[in-house]
Amino acid sequence: MALRYLTARLAQQIDEELMSATGAFSLDQLMELAGLACAQTLATVYSREQYPRVLVCCGPGNQGGDGLVAARHLGMCGYKPTIWMPKPGNKDIYQRLKTQCDNMKIPTIAPSQDTSSLRDALARSDVVLDAIFGFSFKPPVRAPFDSALPLIASSGLPIVSVDIPSGWDVEKGNAEGLGLNPDVLISLTAPKEGAKSFKGRHFLGGRFVTKALEEKYSLQLPEYPGFSQIVELPKVEEGQKL
């Protein structure tokens, strides 16, 4: 059987089951493992020597939390991350993740609806980690992200997207043509339906799915190599069915 691609509903269901009494994971645990996988993906494709300055773009939800964790790990690995988070999440977990980044002396651009600071940050960066919208995203794209996505897309910088490229429909992909077109995608838990149309380098991360869950949902996950937190998926050829 082939690797299973998830609908938004099924992805949400698996997340809830992981954090239920049966799954016994906390949100902190899942976010830490997901963010570590994101950092490892970026470091695998874009070396610290050639791409040291990483602009980590975070949304206000769990996707942004993954980005904050990734920023911390990238900082620990010798990269120079900067965080752009115009609408910081107000939950305690985001405050703690932000404090951890502050303690690593990772700069954060002051929150603003004005994207001029984003434009300046892009000019000083080598690669973008897109952790803005996750699988729960529903259009339309609202301010300030509606003007931010075109800025990021036109920057000419390589982009690594977390779980689903920002602006994409989780099941239909970039059907509206408004989302980012990243060079690299790191899917978490299992790829989402919309990622079937993604043509770049595609990795899978989130080494927290239990054997019981994998079998229950027939995920058919590939084997992770050694102690790596990520595994690269085969490139999808034009016209190939998944």
Name the binding residues. Answer: 62-66, 130, 134-140, 163, 166
**Tokens describing residue 195:** 């990622």
Cα gap 66→162, rounded to integer Å: 8
Residue 57's H or E segment, with its range, is strand 53-58
Edge-first strand order for the sheet with 184-188 is 108-109, 80-84, 53-58, 127-131, 159-162, 184-188, 201-205, 230-232
Cα gap 59→13, rounded to integer Å: 22
Taking each helix axis as running N to C, give the angle between helix 62-76 and helix 92-103, from 0 to 180 degrees, rounded to the nearest 10. 20
Please provide the DSSP assignment of 73-135 as one string: HHHHTT-EEEEE-SS---SHHHHHHHHHHHHTT--EEPP-S-THHHHHHHHT-SEEEEES--T
Contacts (Cβ under 8 Å, ≥6 apart) of 171:
7, 8, 192, 193, 194
Q: Give the pairing type, strands 201-205 and 230-232.
A: antiparallel
Per the annotation, where are the binding residues for (6S)-NADPHX? 62-66, 134-140, 163
Per the annotation, where are the binding residues for K(+)? 63, 130, 166
